[in-house]
Structure 1
């Protein structure tokens, strides 16, 4: 009887240990996995010494020097992609006023931006020049934003304009990740013979941000399923799928990370839409 009690006591202790370990794993902050993929396009070179041991970092390299990029590598950043906006112009960029005549309309929720005609040779030349400058700084790839211009202006000239820009990027030998742009990407993957993009990133798959109320919440099921189908399509064409979620609630952050893991997506969860290092 004494041996039985000792055996049962050991089993009980083991169960407690396993339960604690499981609880710890389930309650872990998703940021613990952030070293795989980090998006900080709202930051500048001041964060260079604050980052280390990251598989893929996305920054706006316009605000980083060649030496900054080299320093990030020394700190253990294995791949560095630069944000590049090809489908709209932003009022805070130095070249903004040069292309006002090519703008197409207002950009909802982002008053500092306007959609731009990507078929304009002058805009394509400007984008090529920006690509060259980023290559000279030593980036490994491009985080291409606002191919959604094709969703808002679904014309063949707009589609072909995006293709022209992507083709130029591809010839630099750098990798290409498309952020959003599901309307363009779905057509691109299903109609083009040569797929130039390496990955797709989708914001707000599991989470949502309400601009009118300035709150972070969860997406409805139908929206979640739509983006999941989209990312699965991209993966079926050989693209790596990334998700960029926005959440401050720990429970929602854990749920978003679990959802991405379940579907094979590489996920980064930010606590602010400015994509800065902490609010």
Structure 2
């Protein structure tokens, strides 16, 4: 009988561990009442049945159907944002070859991507079409990536091109979160009277990822302070601040979560740069 009880206890513990592992890719801050924010843009619709009770989930909804989005809501996902890349083109997208002539240069550390001229009307029309498709699927907002194109190509035409795309998104009534893009965002929040963005997300505020060695570590103090100042600046202009950290060591994950909570950031901690549930 004792052996049976012990076996049952072991099974229960294993079930608990496996259930927790499904969300090991990301975790919110240290408070139970904190918003549960999870970024899984590396996942496909198979995750639909694995997720529940999340305040804000970011996926690449290009690969999800309208029914998939509805199913996520049924599972208790309160808000669903879709990843959308507006500043570079990825060679695995169906439309990549149509815009090769608008590319500006190589994207460091991401060989499948090239920076693109966001001032080109043809690219803006493509972005608008993708926005429309995502709206039809039922997403609540956009996780807008690669406005860093303005940092790499700091021209007024590039800045205005980003604004044109954001303005189109805003007219859909969906929320807008900018991922990275601190150079663009700081100018935007300073110069524009009508702020269209609702939040900013910054990767690797507390943590760091070494592409050359494929290692996860802690950011240096100066970089950490720079991004902290940036997020605080965004918050002072009415934006919600999110952080996306990458760490595999439990102690570093806890430190990153504590750091975010201390500064009032909503934090997701992933154990892999691919933003999947498992490596």
CA contact (8 A) 1:35 1:53 kept: no
Q: Which residue of 1 aligns with 2:267?
A: 267
- What TM-score does the superposition give when structure 1 sets the normalisation length? 0.89
1:31 aligns with 2:37: no
Question: 2:242, 2:266 within 8 Å by CA — same for their partners in 1?
Answer: yes
Rg larger in structure? 1
The CA distance in 1 between the partners of 2:254 and 2:37, in whole Å, is: 16
Secondary structure in structure 2 of the residue aligned to 1:51? coil
Q: Secondary structure at the match of 2:223?
A: helix
Higher relative contact order (CA 8 A, sep 6+): 2
| Aligned mates of 1:87, 1:176 — CA distance in 2 | 15
Alignment of 1:239-278 (within 5 A): 239-278=239-278
TM-superposed deviation, 1:200 = 0.0
Q: Deviations over 1:113-140 (max 9, x none)?
A: 0000000000000000000000000000
Name the CA distance, whole Å, in 1 between partners of 2:199 and 2:216.
26
Query: 2:75 matched to which residue of 1?
Result: 75
Distance 1:162 1:278 in 2: 33
Cα gap change, 1:257/1:32 in structure 2, threshold over 3 Å: closer, same or farther?
A: closer
The corresponding residue for 2:205 is: 205
More helix by share: 1
Alignment of 1:106-125 (within 5 A): 106-125=106-125
Partner of 1:231: 231
Structure 1 equivalent of residue 6 of structure 2: none
Shift in CA distance, 235/35, structure 1 to aligned 2, threshold 3 Å: closer
Unaligned stretches of 5+ residues in structure 1: 1-28
The equivalent residue for 1:141 is 141
Distance 2:129 2:46 in 1: 25
Shift of 1:278: 1.9
In 2: Cα distance, 1:224 partner to 1:42 partner: 25
RMSD between aligned residues: 1.2
Q: Note the residue ranges of structure 2 that are not aligned, 5 or more in a row.
A: 1-23
